[in-house]
Amino acid sequence: MPLGSCIFIAEQMTRGPRGKLLSGREAVGRFVQDGSTVYFGGFGFLQAFSLAHEVIRQRKRELTVVREAGDILVDQLIGAGCVRRLVTSHVWNPIGPSSAYCFRRAVEERDPPVEVEEMGYGSISMALMAGAMDLPFMPTTEHAGTGQFQHRSFLGERKFQVIESPFSGEKVTVVAPLKPEVGLIHVQRADVEGNCQVVGPLGNLRFGANACRTIVASAEEIVDKGLIQLSSNLTIIPGFRVSAVVHDSLGAHPSESFGYYDRDIQFAYDYSQRARTRDGFQAFLDEWVFGVNDREEYTRRLGEDRLKKLVEIYRYQHGRDWPE
Amino acid sequence: MKEATRFEMMLVSGARELKHCRRVFIGFHWPVIASRVARRLYQPDMLCAYEGGFVEDCLTETMPTSNNDLILAQKATMCGDSLDTLFMLLRAGWIETSMLDGFMVDRYGNINSSCLGDYKKPKVRLAGSGGAADLAANSRRLIILSSATTPDRYPELVDYITSAGYLTGGDSRRLAGFKEGTGPSALINPFGRFVFDGETKEMYLEAVHPGVSVEEVRGSVVWPLRAADHVSEIEPATPEEIGIVREELAKARNRLYKLPD
């Protein structure tokens, strides 16, 4: 879709009090197609789990997934058979740490086969920055001699190159831009026009999301535009770039959402125990993905006691005490 | 108090490496624990930067499960983009020391955290780089911490270089275009401390932890390991150091870290 028509659609949808608000089901159904190149936001924290689960529920197939750091979100997408190609810097479970078992089965036993293209985290971040800014490439961390440089999968020559600096003559490693078609991200708050705000560390979310042609954002809270205007330095994407906003509180669980809830380490630990076997993984999906309709049901299943523990440290929910 | 195990000694030595450091970059896994021990013992206001994009300068009560656990950012003094910490602070040279976990380390300090066996058909697929390749490329003084003690984890040359050390030794890192003055400075493992020859860039044994023999260390690596003319013995851990390391390990266990027996 040409850039202009994306913006046009996004602007059309702003009208009316509900603006760009859609359910996760509607948003993923409308914007993610089989075969799409999809960026999933979050680096350890603020991972777009609720939207990823919606992708699994809708049985999207043949996706090229772009993600700076795989984590168990990518593990689940792979295990559920949604992924054909993956660009990432690592895939594992940081709790323990423990293996990402679906990823391991995919690479070790080709079950299912997934083509993996690896870069360092800094270089994927630079590639997305180049994509967001429409630059031809970005200088990055040196990789010559490393496995990431030598082993090339589907990106081939359009990954790293070493060029001579036109200024000093020194060798410069450059990385090609990445421009995913759709970005599925989670933020702490957004308004109905799609202005998205994040508090706390960003990882590479700002560049990752802005590199995408179409952006779907889930948010802990939907707030008035006035609140956004009072703290506009926290906005990471201007509303006109966002096509749909989904209200999913706890959308990043089991990863953390700074200021809202802590990471659920027991949940992530239990996940890896179950994902060791295909049957165990399937049982996990049946319980936590196919067994619920949306994030609200998922949250109810987590239960109040569990949630209470996770939000002990939270500070910002419901607009209280947000920095202005 | 029971004397320190070799694994505990690795953390003590790791923490001692951070003595007098004002600004450090902390990678995943054991460096997180070593940095906490360093803060409690020597350097309470040491500034730590992380690949998630934040900077903080005080110990948290809760043990973070990783360098990306935002428990660490509760009292951060700056939260920004990952590019801010990886490039604007680390690459630009404002960080004195970085500490990185080394799953498998070879003769020239290259780290493999990607796969066991052939990359295309691995026996075991490991996590991959994350920010490790960036730390290894961009750090001025890089300390590698490894809890590994067996030859399968210290090959002559790793199957896959996830994080560049001195590549094939000698001038090869510089010729590949890496920045001058970067590259690993030392490896700390349960046996002791290893450094790199100025010319050949080969790793050699500089000092051992109390009770460790040079022969034993030689048996733990695949290549014929060189040792310094005089291999010194590292000072034993003080009761205070042992106490603090054990307190931190107890916290780590509560936060579901897998610890060696």
Instruction: Tell me the pLDDT of chain A averaged across its residues.
Output: 92
Closest chain B CA to residue A117: B128
**CA–CA dist A216, A185 (Å, integer):** 6
Does B128 contact A at CB distance below 8 Å? yes
User: Which one of 1.10.260.30, 3.40.50.620, 3.40.1080.10, 3.90.1300.10 gives the CATH number of domain B6-254?
Assistant: 3.40.1080.10
Question: Are residues B164 and A146, on separate chains, in Cβ contact within 8 Å?
Answer: yes
**CA–CA dist A64, A74 (Å, integer):** 11
Does B61 contact A at CB distance below 8 Å? no
- Scanning A16-55 for CB atoms below 8 A from B yields 43-45
Picking from B16, B54, B36, the residue whose alpha carbon sits closest to that of residue B131 is B54
What ipTM describes this predicted complex?
A: 0.97
Question: Are residues A88 and B83, on separate chains, in Cβ contact within 8 Å?
Answer: no
- pLDDT tens per residue, chain A (324 residues)? 444 444 444 444 555 678 999 999 999 999 999 999 999 999 999 999 999 999 999 999 999 999 999 899 999 999 999 999 999 999 999 999 999 999 999 999 999 999 999 999 999 999 999 999 999 999 999 999 999 999 999 999 999 999 999 999 999 999 999 999 999 999 999 999 999 999 999 999 999 999 999 999 999 999 999 999 999 999 999 999 999 999 999 999 999 999 899 999 999 999 999 999 999 999 999 999 999 999 999 999 999 889 888 887 665 554 445 444
Question: Are residues A202 and B79, on separate chains, in Cβ contact within 8 Å?
Answer: yes
CB-nearest to A107 from B73, B79, B125 is: B125
Q: Which residue has the tokens 């560390």?
A: A201
Picking from A138, A130, A220, A219, the residue whose alpha carbon sits closest to that of residue A180 is A130
List the beta bridge partners of residue B101. Answer: B145
C-alpha distance from B194 to closest chain A C-alpha (Å): 22
CB neighbour burial string for A159-173, b if at least 16 within 10 angstroms, e if fewer? bbeeeeeeeeeebbb
Does A120 contact B at CB distance below 8 Å? yes
Question: Are residues A45 and B83, on separate chains, in Cβ contact within 8 Å?
Answer: no
Q: Are strands A196-197 and A235-237 parallel, antiparallel or unpaired?
A: antiparallel
Q: Which fold has domain A3-120+179-319?
A: Glutaconate Coenzyme A-transferase (3.40.1080)
Give domain limits for chain A. Answer: 3-120+179-319
pLDDT of residue A312: 72
Give residue A282's identity as a one-letter amino acid code: Q
CB-nearest to A141 from B69, B81, B134 is: B134
CB-nearest to A144 from B79, B81, B176 is: B176
Give domain limits for chain B. Answer: 6-254
pLDDT of residue B1: 80
pLDDT band, very low/low/confident/very high, at B200 (cuts 50, 70, 90): very high
